[in-house]
Amino acid sequence: MVEKTHQGLVFNFKKMCKGLIDGIILFSALLPFEANTKELKLISDEETEQFLAGIIYPLFKAADIPFYRNNIFIVEDNSLNAFVADGNKMFVHTGTITKSDTADEISGVLAHETGHIMGGHIIRQKLKAQDMYEVSMLSTILAGAAAAVSGRGDAAMAVMLGGQSSLINHFTHYRTEEERSADEAAIKLLNATQQSPAGILNFMKKIKKENIMEGREETPYFRTHPVTNDRIYFFENALINSPYKQAPQNDFFLRVKAKIKAYLQKPEQTFKDYPLSRDDIPAVYAQAIAYMKKSDFEKALNKTDILILRDENNPFFYELKGQIYLETGKIKQAKQNFAKAYELLPDSHLMQINYAHAILEDNPDMSSAKQAINLLNKSLVKEQGIVTWLLLAKAYGITGDMAKATYASAEYSFRIGNIDVAKKQLETAKKYNPDTQLRLKIGDLADRLKAVDKNK
């Protein structure tokens, strides 16, 4: 569920791209990486991930890039942005979805990002960043030498600024060329997947409008992207020469867009965007979520029942109904709806977690607790979620398996940053005579804890 955003799951981009960040951090004020070096708040939503996977998979296939569903990340950020990172990981800002008018716009953006992967730009930027770091250090050393010889601090400053200005010019020119290359690759990929460039053209126009509204002046200097007007001109020509027309409106996109907006904005704004006079599925979906956020659960359930009547095989409508019941403390009804959502989408790790959570909230007996454990272990195959480890600790505790319960607690503590607590829990787990498989897992976590201490 998108609502899991509010559980505070945080992803540190610095750790993922440390080699790149370390090389350019001195120049972050002039580079777009500045936005990426802060902690990113990720949200998990099966429906949105399915939608994005449906766009990314054909682009990756056309680019001959391996596709892994787990490498799609949704960033809670209202800006128009997406980016790629090591391992072909694709990050999409929620603003890119909510501010787009068609699925074609998102396809265009993700085609551009796929172009970066095709061009090997990530590893090349790391190498370039290392070069920058070394040249930057050299300019600092030369500045010190100038000060020692002349006895003048202003001479040192002139050497240092001169060297770094040249360096920034070099790097921004390099990045601009990469962005042009990615734009060209995007058009090739859109053609290969029989999609119109109209989407990426419209998206660029949105960026231009946003730049104007926010007072950002665009010049060719100290930029890492080509000037927006130049890019618009390029995509206009691509559209003229493309044999493909813009696709009709995508109902899946409209539903996902409505869902994200409703979860992330205030209910009052949702009712403005999706007034009660509208009764199409995206509008009713948004209205149901808005009523839930207002704690008007009766109206939320009424809206959700309308959705289920219109599409009784949509797992996400049952998921929402289960969440509403969970919010009201009606655990048995919540479990019933989460069970239905899981039945319709059994391979979803989020459906597995939701169903297991409801089972554990319903005073489970030994058999039910084992069912929850099975569901949670399945979910770990896809994603090592923080909440999953917490639920596993509870489930194993119910079954009396204290070795696994304590180990799961240690994994949870490790992932929320309570390193000292995790160490103590791990030592306790060892006292319960764990089996061979669990001893190996305990050893692996112990190594990770040692690595944390070493990094400190």
DSSP 175-201: HHHHHHHHHHHHHHHHHHTT--THHHH
Are 225 and 278 in the same domain? no
pLDDT band for position 40 (50/70/90)? confident
Are 231 and 320 in the same domain? no
Are 277 and 229 in the same domain? no
CATH number at residue 311: 1.25.40.10
Q: What is the pLDDT of residue 337?
A: 98
Burial 380-402 (b: 16+ CB within 10 A, else e): beeeebbbbbbbbbbbbbbbebe
Closest CA to 307 of 268, 262, 265: 262
CA distance 81 to 45: 19
Q: Give the list of residues 6+ apart from residue 132 with CB closer than 8 angstroms, or none.
A: 23, 24, 27, 167, 171
Side chain identity, residue 25: I
Are 150 and 276 in the same domain? no
Are 85 and 230 in the same domain? yes
Is residue 287 included in any domain, yes or no? yes
Q: What is the pLDDT of residue 321?
A: 98
Task: Please state, as a whole number, how many other Cβ atoms lie within 10 Å of the Cβ of residue 1.
Answer: 22
Are 336 and 406 in the same domain? yes
Average pLDDT over residues 112-140: 58
Is residue 402 included in any domain, yes or no? yes
Of the three residues 191, 206, 241, the one that is the final residue of a domain is 241
CA distance 260 to 14: 26
Are 207 and 275 in the same domain? no
CA distance 197 to 127: 32
- DSSP state string for 340-359: HHHHH-TT-HHHHHHHHHHH
pLDDT above 80 for 134: no
Are 40 and 77 in the same domain? yes
Of the three residues 199, 224, 241, the one that is the final residue of a domain is 241
Burial 122-156 (b: 16+ CB within 10 A, else e): beebbebbeebbebbeebbeebeebbeeeeeeeeb
The whole domain housing 21 covers 2-241
Average pLDDT over residues 168-194: 76
Are 114 and 13 in the same domain? yes
Q: Do 5 and 263 form a contact (C-beta atoms < 8 A)? A: yes
Closest CA to 409 of 420, 421, 417, 398: 421
316-333 pLDDT tens trace: 999 999 999 999 999 999
Q: How many distinct structural domains can be found in the chain?
A: 2
Closest CA to 76 of 209, 350, 261, 202: 261
Is residue 72 included in any domain, yes or no? yes
Is residue 300 included in any domain, yes or no? yes
Is residue 251 included in any domain, yes or no? no
Please give the helix or strand (H or E) that residue 211 lies within, else none.
helix 198-213
Higher-confidence residue of 67 and 218: namely 67
pLDDT above 60 for 185: yes
pLDDT band for position 38 (50/70/90)? low
Are 291 and 163 in the same domain? no
Give the sign of the dihedral formed by CA 272, CA 41, CA 223, CA 191.
Answer: negative
Is residue 372 included in any domain, yes or no? yes
pTM score, whole prediction: 0.79
Q: Do 102 and 249 form a contact (C-beta atoms < 8 A)? A: yes
Residues in the chain, how many? 456
Are 232 and 300 in the same domain? no
Is residue 343 included in any domain, yes or no? yes
231-260 pLDDT tens trace: 899 999 999 999 998 888 889 999 999 999
CA distance 76 to 94: 5
- How much is the mean pLDDT over the chain? 81
Are 52 and 144 in the same domain? yes
Is residue 259 included in any domain, yes or no? no
248-303 pLDDT tens trace: 888 999 999 999 999 999 999 999 999 999 999 999 999 999 999 999 999 999 99
Please give the helix or strand (H or E) that residue 409 lies within, else none.
helix 402-415
Average pLDDT over residues 168-190: 73
Task: Name residue, tokens 């509008």.
Answer: 283
Give the sign of the dihedral formed by CA 145, CA 149, CA 151, CA 153.
Answer: negative
Q: What is the pLDDT of residue 227?
A: 64
Q: What is the pLDDT of residue 215?
A: 58
CA distance 372 to 365: 11
